[in-house]
Amino acid sequence: MASTTAILEDDEPRKKRSDDLTSGLVHKRLFGLWLPMIGGILAVKSIGLSDAYFISQLGEGPVAAVSFTFPIVMILISLAVGLSAGASSILSRRIGADKSDEEKQAIVAGNLSLAVGLAVLLGGLGALLINPVLQLLGASGETLKDASLYMYIWFAGAVFLIIPIVANGILRATGDGVGPAVLMTGVALLNIGLNPLFIFGVGVLPELGMHGAAVATVLARGVATLCACALLFHKNLFNLRLHVVRRGLEDWKEIVRIGLPASLSTSVNPMALSIATAAVATLGQSEVAAFGVATKIQSIAIVPLLALSSASSPFAGQNSGAGLTNRSRTMLYWCAGISVCWATLAAGVFWLFGGTLAEVFVSSDRGIEVLTLYLAIVPISYLGYGIVISLSAALNGIGKSLKALIAAAGRALALLAPAAWIGVSVAGFAGLAWGFLTANLLSGALALLGMKYLSLSEAGQSGHSDESETGG
């Protein structure tokens, strides 16, 4: 019997494309997806930082107005991410099963059509409901007026905001990590470059204030939409003939079945952080400010883990479609190992330089004290977060969206949020940090058990896996 090593190192007969994830060494295929995505996600996160910086130059009023739009924007993005997850899951599994080009094109056409339909629906409903929704959130007067106009611009360009996210999921499903990363980096650089032009005005361009940030976002995403369609065309996936679109729309139930829980999975972490913020608010303004800074620092520190989850979904999807479930399991073990290494590195950096970071971002002595404490305790627990989101993404990739939601919600709402309230009640801000540490480590341990025992075969499959294809 041929050895596993031999099979792994000489699998050219099975290899169909350079981006085929069902062949080759597991860790090489995983790294090929993961590493480019780090840069892409960092680039996208830089857009928010750019918006925040330039709008802060306008004063507290615009900053407050934009703050009210954040929950609404997150809902829109979550819905787009859910649609992207549905597209990625179905396409990656059919690629793994080596379906025909027209079947793959049909999936893409159906998803893009649904994306356009969702954009039109959200744009219309948003324009009608934005004022009462913002009032419900507490906006009033000039703040309400500014926030409403900001969102009107978003809704007008909803199709450009949704399609690049869906297209990224489609491209990742093919095993392409570079294309989405280049697309995200390009749109980020364009968005950042357009921000000051439209916010402050230059030459013939009028000064639009905070609303210029929304215009810059829509224009940059419009360019990204064109580029995304060009990339899909290049990969022979873009076909909008009527019979192809009709065939693709037959998958809409499956897309929604996967996409809705995926949208909820995206939302649970912000919900948990909101609950934690409410708990911290009982301690005082300095603690709230410190926690707000901590979440922003964390949003950058966990980017490699977010990229890892983006890679695990198409990897699991393709290998599930090909019946190679042990390759998916091996991939998840690699994700766990990478999460441990990254968390250890982050913990070391924050242990050494956490105090310095705290002094840069927080002005009060109490704020510096508690932020330094947080950064000394919590980062090692990122390993649990990385393991959970990798497993959740992989489950989405194989079409088991409900299990994916349970994994994400279990960590965020069943463990993290209660740990925050209990920790604050018992030991103040230190209790919050230790509570986060405990919740993340426990959720990571449970996810490791899931990696070992959960079936990673596509729904409807027997769960059989080829032991010779474990790789890695």
pLDDT in tens, 389-402: 999 999 988 888 88
Number of domains comprising the chain: 2
pLDDT band at 17 (very low <50, low <70, confident <90, very high): low
10 Å CB burial of residue 2 (0-12, 13-18, 19+) is exposed
**Mean pLDDT on 83-98:** 80
The per-residue pLDDT for 287 is: 82
> Is 464 a member of any domain?
no
pLDDT single digits (tens) 217-250? 999 999 999 999 898 888 888 777 777 777 777 7
Range of the domain at 368: 264-457
**Of the residues 250, 273, 291, which one is the last residue of a structural domain?**
250
Same domain, 69 and 161: yes
Which of the pair, 343 or 8, is modelled with greater confidence? 343
**Of the residues 224, 250, 276, which one is the last residue of a structural domain?**
250
Same domain, 103 and 198: yes
Residue at 335: amino acid letter = C
208 C-beta neighbours (distance < 10 Å), count: 18
pLDDT single digits (tens) 171-183? 888 888 888 888 8
447 Cβ contact list (under 8 Å, min separation 6): 384, 387, 388, 390, 391, 407, 411
Which of the pair, 463 or 419, is modelled with greater confidence? 419
Q: What is the percent of the chain with per-residue pLDDT over 70, rounded to a whole number?
A: 92
Same domain, 232 and 364: no
The per-residue pLDDT for 463 is: 43
Which of the pair, 363 or 164, is modelled with greater confidence? 164
The per-residue pLDDT for 467 is: 39
Which of the pair, 218 or 49, is modelled with greater confidence? 218
Q: What is the percent of the chain with per-residue pLDDT over 90, rounded to a whole number?
A: 32
Query: Does residue 465 carry a pLDDT above 50?
Result: no
Same domain, 168 and 290: no
Query: Does residue 5 carry a pLDDT above 70?
Result: no
**Of the residues 250, 278, 298, which one is the last residue of a structural domain?**
250
The per-residue pLDDT for 60 is: 67
Highest mean pLDDT among 53-57, 269-273, 423-427: 423-427
**Mean pLDDT on 357-376:** 86
Same domain, 243 and 268: no
d(CA 244, CA 246): 5
Question: Which range among 68-77, 308-317, 414-423 shows the weakest confidence by mean pLDDT?
Answer: 68-77
Highest mean pLDDT among 88-97, 99-108, 430-439: 430-439
The per-residue pLDDT for 262 is: 80
Same domain, 406 and 378: yes
Q: Please give the mean pLDDT across all residues of the chain.
A: 83
Same domain, 286 and 434: yes
d(CA 383, CA 299): 14
The per-residue pLDDT for 344 is: 96
> Is 293 a member of any domain?
yes
The per-residue pLDDT for 458 is: 64
Long-range contacts of 400-408 (CB under 8 A, 24+ apart): 400/459, 401/85, 401/89, 401/257, 401/258, 401/259, 401/260, 401/261, 401/262, 402/261, 403/454, 404/261, 404/262, 404/265, 405/261, 405/262, 405/264, 405/265, 407/447, 407/450, 408/265, 408/268, 408/269
> Is 13 a member of any domain?
no
Same domain, 273 and 333: yes
Which of the pair, 462 or 39, is modelled with greater confidence? 39
Same domain, 200 and 306: no
pLDDT band at 19 (very low <50, low <70, confident <90, very high): low
Same domain, 271 and 238: no
**Mean pLDDT on 57-63:** 78
